[in-house]
A and B are shown apart, each in its own frame.
Chain A
């Protein structure tokens, strides 16, 4: 594996995956079919990591493992040094409320208005404090939905639903946010707008983000670091730091001097990954 990140500089690691793997099949460890195996990854506080990989490389599976909606077959997941999940622990999604998950679909509750959807995660933990209500209102404002709080999801466009979903996940303030191709199904213009909104939110909210995408441009435009998953079982085959200065303009990211180098490296890796 090509690594250009020194291990020693990882003092402020928020999320750490140690030898993480997931497999299925009834037989012994060597005969089972592994989707992901021996995955090591450390994510620093406030880091934006984009995850790429060929189709079926286990990108979404990786996020599901971190969100604890899947049970790992091997390894551990540590949050700020404390083991929260692993092969020998029962997965308990949401137990820590440290992780937000924005999935491919917006997953808004169709019978709740935008406002009630955004408040949903907050109300699960009891009555939201005035501070939390203010924060939710501020976030809805930030994603441009303040005129639409009393509308139901089916009355909104795809982009607006995505924004509502983003506001909902940020509203309960999880330090780590997982995003699974959140802008995949949107038109180019809406996507570019949402990308720059996301970068602005990330900068002001100081979140740690793990972002799955199949778009190299998007991966370079958003991430501090790109990791590429590949193979069967899936492993990290490339880890590359993106040194483009911030703030970035996702639409004009190709003008950055080092863009071409990053693009070629990731593309070559994805291509060679596709040919066994």
Chain B
């Protein structure tokens, strides 16, 4: 497929989606499905009022903080367990158990422990990201080519050099895949955290609109959150390209 054809296909998909939305809106009425025009107008008024940028920044900030904490902890735990097989054997069942708890179900517990401030929100996002990044990094560490490691050792590489030049480049694609998989989950977690208690943020906006039976506002929030996911995904893909010169 040429570039133009690809662009055309994407444009057609978008048009079809917009048509279906508009048709649904006409068929069932504004309250159930507000029209595209109404939602677009809401984007414009929110932008002028400064709330769009404020919400996006608040949710983005929460997302960044939570994802960073989760990713760092996930990688650290994966490395630790790979380096210590005994510890690995000991904690592996617990990790599987904790991993299977739905993280959103922990919200009440987090509120009991940490109140309704910033800490429980970051914790929720971090927990969501942690296990996904952990799983991918843990799996990635097992695929490091033992022959490459051996060759580097014969060349006289120290443990640090081995990590820097062989292990990290091998695992990096797995870590990025983990982040890319975790991203939509992290955004969901951030929204739920903001439903709960927040003065600003996309989730707060959606919850407020719901209380006012403002369905246009809810749609606006959902579309804005989707835009945030797409934006973050684009940034991640771009960083990935910069960091990994040769895609395996």
Chain A positions near chain B (C-beta within 8 angstroms)? 67-69, 93-95, 97, 99-101, 103, 105, 107, 109-111, 120-121, 124-125, 152, 154, 172
Chain B positions near chain A (C-beta within 8 angstroms)? 147-148, 150-158, 161, 165-166, 169, 244-246, 248
Contacts of A110 in B (CB 8 A): 246, 248
Contacts A68-B154, A125-B156 supplied; 15 other A-B pairs, CB < 8 Å: A67-B154, A97-B155, A100-B154, A103-B147, A103-B150, A107-B148, A107-B151, A109-B166, A110-B246, A111-B246, A120-B152, A120-B155, A124-B155, A124-B156, A124-B161
Is B245 a contact of A111 with CB atoms below 8 Å?
Answer: yes
Contacts of B151 in A (CB 8 A): 101, 103, 107
Ordered by A's residue number, 29 sampled pairs between the chains whose C-beta atoms are within 8 Å are A67-B154, A68-B154, A69-B154, A93-B153, A94-B155, A94-B156, A94-B157, A95-B156, A101-B151, A103-B147, A103-B151, A105-B147, A107-B151, A109-B148, A109-B165, A109-B166, A109-B169, A110-B246, A110-B248, A111-B169, A111-B244, A120-B152, A120-B155, A120-B165, A121-B155, A121-B156, A124-B155, A125-B156, A152-B245
- Looking at chain A's contact residues, the main secondary structure is loop
Q: Which residue of B lies closest to A69 (CB)?
A: B150
Contacts of B147 in A (CB 8 A): 103, 105, 107
A152→B153 CA distance, assembly (Å): 22
Take A103-B147, A111-B244, A124-B161 as given contacts and tell me if A94 and B166 are in contact as well, using a CB distance cutoff of 8 Å: no
A69→B244 CA distance, assembly (Å): 29
Checking B148, B153, B165, B169 against A69 with a beta-carbon cut-off of 8 angstroms, the contacting residue is B153
Q: Which residue of B lies closest to A107 (CB)?
A: B151
Is B155 a contact of A172 with CB atoms below 8 Å?
Answer: yes
| Closest CB pairs A-B (n = 6) | A94-B156, A121-B155, A107-B151, A93-B153, A101-B154, A111-B169
A111→B165 CA distance, assembly (Å): 9
A110→B143 CA distance, assembly (Å): 14
Is A94 a contact of B154 with CB atoms below 8 Å?
Answer: yes
Report the minimal beta-carbon distance from B160 to chain A, rounded to whole angstroms. Answer: 10
Q: Which residue of A lies closest to B244 (CB)?
A: A111
A110→B161 CA distance, assembly (Å): 16
A67→B156 CA distance, assembly (Å): 11
Take A105-B147, A109-B166, A109-B169 as given contacts and tell me if A99 and B154 are in contact as well, using a CB distance cutoff of 8 Å: yes
A163→B84 CA distance, assembly (Å): 38
Residue among A67, A69, A94, A95 with max Cβ neighbours from chain B (10 Å): A94
Is B148 a contact of A124 with CB atoms below 8 Å?
Answer: no
Contacts of A121 in B (CB 8 A): 155-156
Contacts of A94 in B (CB 8 A): 153-157
A152→B244 CA distance, assembly (Å): 13
Residue among B151, B161, B244, B246 with max Cβ neighbours from chain A (10 Å): B151
Report the minimal beta-carbon distance from B241 to chain A, rounded to whole angstroms. Answer: 13
Contacts of A95 in B (CB 8 A): 156
Is B157 a contact of A124 with CB atoms below 8 Å?
Answer: yes
Report the minimal beta-carbon distance from A185 to chain B, rounded to whole angstroms. Answer: 14
Contacts of B169 in A (CB 8 A): 109, 111
Residue among B152, B154, B166 with max Cβ neighbours from chain A (10 Å): B154
Is A93 a contact of B154 with CB atoms below 8 Å?
Answer: yes
Q: Which residue of B lies closest to A97 (CB)?
A: B156
Contacts of A105 in B (CB 8 A): 147
Report the minimal beta-carbon distance from B246 to chain A, rounded to whole angstroms. Answer: 5
Contacts of A93 in B (CB 8 A): 150, 153-154
A182→B159 CA distance, assembly (Å): 27
A165→B248 CA distance, assembly (Å): 20
Q: Which residue of B lies closest to A110 (CB)?
A: B246
A215→B156 CA distance, assembly (Å): 31
A121→B154 CA distance, assembly (Å): 9
A105→B147 CA distance, assembly (Å): 9
A242→B174 CA distance, assembly (Å): 51
Contacts of A152 in B (CB 8 A): 245-246
Take A103-B147, A120-B165 as given contacts and tell me if A154 and B156 are in contact as well, using a CB distance cutoff of 8 Å: no
